Amino acid sequence: MVILGFDPGINKCGYGLISKEGSRVLHIDNGLIQTKSCKDYFEKLNLIYSRSENLVREFNPDLICMETAFYAKNIHSTIVLASARTAAILAFIRSGKKVVEFSPKEVKKSVCGNGNASKNQIQEMVKIILALPDVPYEDAADALAIALSGAFRGVLK
């Protein structure tokens, strides 16, 4: 089973792909969708949508996992983040793939055993669990942690 974890943002989205074979989880790929070169907000949303579609086409995941939406410090940031999430979600559901969500606490507990784990703890545990040579970039590590949550919770059988 191939699982795509996705951590959306308006300037960069982290993605992480793993496979689950029995009780083993293996790293496939991880990275960022960066929108800094885009001229405006709408171009950023279009890029997030199209790159999300490309991830599904390239890796054909059986399951896509995301964190539940959270409220940012101000309403504008919340709306912008929700728009980025929606662009990715539309690409994922239009592909016919199953999409599930986990709260940030569920992700931290799944990967670190502690719902209040720090970003550094998540990065280190992702590196250990997936036997990676280096700690992944923060947004990619978050996406891999989200994918691992899907694998550990047995959402898709």
Residue 149 backbone phi and psi in degrees, to 5: -60, -40
Catalytic residue of the set 29, 53, 67, 134: 67
Question: Considering just the CA atoms, what is the radius of gyration of the chain in Å?
Answer: 15
Q: How many residues does the chain have?
A: 157
Structure tokens, 87: 């662009």
CB contact set of 145 (below 8 Å; sequence gap of 6+):
5, 16, 107, 108, 110, 111, 122, 125, 126
Residue from 7, 21, 53, 101 carrying the catalytic annotation? 7
Active site residue 139: yes
Is residue 29 flagged as an active site residue? no
Candidate list 58, 62, 139, 142, residue with the active-site label: 139
142 is catalytic: no
| 12-21 and 2-7 strand pairing | antiparallel
- Catalytic residue positions, numbered: 7, 67, 139
